[in-house]
Amino acid sequence: LNRRLAEFGTTIFAEMSALAVETGALNLGQGFPDTDGPEQVREAAVRALRDGRGNQYPPGPGVPELRAAIAAHQQRFYGLSPDPDTEVLVTAGATEAIAASLLALVEPGDEVIALEPYYDSYAASIAMAGGTRVPVMLHPAAGEAPHGAADEHATDKDESEEGGADASGADRADRADRADRADRADRADRADRADRADRADEYATDGTYRLDLDELRDAITDRTRLILLNTPHNPTGTVLSRAELAAVAEMCVEHDLLAVTDEVYEHLVFEGTHHPLASFPGMRERTVTISSSGKTFSFTGWKVGWVTGTPALVSAVRSAKQYLTYVSAGPFQYAVAEALALPDDYYTALREDLRAKRDLLARGLRAAGFGVFRPAGTYFITTDIRPLGATDGTAFCLDLPRRAGVVAVPTQVFYDHAEAGAPYVRFAFCKRKGVLEEAVTRLKRLA
């Protein structure tokens, strides 16, 4: 293995899913649904296979039906109108889209800013492109507000459209509290086990994660080439507000940066609204937008993803993609074209089903003694294990199948600053209700 890849072993997802199979534990680790997507979409794939559509190399940019459907989807949900012929590229999942974008746009030595914690393929793709990753931390913030108030806050923030001024103001105020919170966390850590119930209270208020826009601004240097953004964010469930995105957009324009934005969880938003970064002033011409059918239609095994952007950006990404996979998944492309055209009801039902599962698992994890960060989007919940008397998420997850018959993912693996991620563990809730209930029953035995 060359030096660029030496630090990347087996992905945590493969490792933890193997552990689930080996131990027979419930797998709330790797993010994949345990129920397949819509029957009619599966039928569409069967029809394509049977009718000989896509069984031989499809066109390089993707089959025209899918490119048209991707453009129509962007128009329907966001009012964006990419040209299906020149501004859409079909990829082998979002994973290839990310890799091809970085390989196409990053020169060796360029700096790439990414929100930390970040999805594991970002670091490897930046490294393969010869870039240098510059992490900007999302900060855990204990949730002071009860549910209702937190909702109002999210809505207020989302509707304040003043170019990020509000967000940075709020975040600055927030920063003042942060040292204090860290202090409190330390004290809690030192408290003795008899105090566990009290400590559980302290962490059990729903927390969230915050982007500090000043820190993002400070991370930009002469060598910054692009910002690799992810909203809704894996693993924290953060959905960046309109004001935050407007501020990111302003920074990109001011410093003439490109943005690669991973929006695979665009339809899994429970609070606030998903805004594509490409929809902000000055961003259309500098943003590569990435999404995938894996999350939206529950077909993670099909590996149909896509990129949209200007003809110049899409053609650059296509240059890299040509030599990675050339083309991919012919028959599935036809099926995903049909999936994207499903009525709004489909998208609403997907979201509401996952919202109920989020609430079920969050409640259960809280009852089991975990500190819970309430995700505004995605299908992951990040938890704090310190109320359970543990501090090392990796050791905790390796032992969890034996102790509780459940698999989860240590959030630490998404961090460069490993110590910052140590006490956090991620659970996926894209699983059947019965599975989540059984997992909760088992996890309650930990207390």
User: What is the strand order of the sheet 258-262 is part of?
Assistant: 88-92, 304-308, 287-292, 258-262, 224-230, 111-116, 132-141, 208-211
Instruction: Choose the one of ligand PMP, ligand GLN, none that binds residue 382, judging by a C-beta under 5 to 8 angstroms depending on kind.
Output: none
- Closest of 400, 382, 380 to residue 390, by C-alpha: 400
**Is residue 308 a contact residue for ligand PMP (CB under 6 A)?**
no
User: How far apart, in whole angstroms, are the C-alpha atoms of residue 424 and residue 117?
Assistant: 11
Which residue from 30, 236, 261, 328 is in contact with ligand GLN, where contact means CB under 6 A? 30
User: What is the strand order of the sheet 409-410 is part of?
Assistant: 371-373, 380-384, 424-428, 409-410
x/- site string to ligand PMP, residues 279 to 298, per CB under 6 A?
A: -------------x-x----
Q: Which of 93/423 has CB closer to ligand PMP?
A: 93
* Residues of this chain, 101-130, that bind ligand PMP according to CB under 6 A: 119
Smallest separation, CB 104 to ligand PMP (Å): 17
DSSP state string for 200-219 = HHHHHSPBEEEE-HHHHHHH
User: How far apart, in whole angstroms, are the C-alpha atoms of residue 202 and residue 369?
Assistant: 11
Q: Is 342 helix (H, G, I), strand (E, B) or coil?
A: coil
**Is residue 234 a contact residue for ligand PMP (CB under 6 A)?**
yes
The DSSP bridge pattern shows strands 406-407 and 26-27 to be parallel
Q: Which of the ranges 56-64, 76-84, 88-96, 411-419 carries the binding residues for ligand PMP, by CB under 6 A?
A: 88-96
**Is residue 91 a contact residue for ligand GLN (CB under 6 A)?**
no
CB nearest ligand PMP: which residue? 93
* Residues of this chain, 39-58, that bind ligand GLN according to CB under 6 A: none
Q: Which of 265/270 has CB closer to ligand GLN?
A: 265
Which residue from 28, 89, 94, 188 is in contact with ligand PMP, where contact means CB under 6 A? 94
**Is residue 264 a contact residue for ligand PMP (CB under 6 A)?**
yes
Smallest separation, CB 99 to ligand PMP (Å): 10
**Is residue 289 a contact residue for ligand GLN (CB under 6 A)?**
no
φ, ψ of residue 197 to 5 degrees: the values are -60, -45
User: How far apart, in whole angstroms, are the C-alpha atoms of residue 137 and residue 212?
Assistant: 8
Number of other residues whose CB lies within 10 A of the CB of residue 445: 10
The DSSP bridge pattern shows strands 409-410 and 424-428 to be antiparallel
The DSSP bridge pattern shows strands 304-308 and 88-92 to be antiparallel
User: How far apart, in whole angstroms, are the C-alpha atoms of residue 284 and residue 280?
Assistant: 7
Instruction: Choose the one of ligand PMP, ligand GLN, none that binds residue 305, judging by a C-beta under 5 to 8 angstroms depending on kind.
Output: ligand PMP
Q: Which of 95/160 has CB closer to ligand PMP?
A: 95
- Closest of 109, 139, 313 to residue 209, by C-alpha: 139
**Is residue 339 a contact residue for ligand PMP (CB under 6 A)?**
no
Instruction: Choose the one of ligand GLN, ligand PMP, none that binds residue 132, judging by a C-beta under 5 to 8 angstroms depending on kind.
Output: none
* Residues of this chain, 229-288, that bind ligand GLN according to CB under 6 A: 234
What residue ranges bind ligand PMP (CB under 6 A)? Answer: 31, 93-95, 119, 230, 234, 262, 264, 292, 294, 300, 305
What residue ranges bind ligand GLN (CB under 6 A)? Answer: 11, 13, 30-31, 234
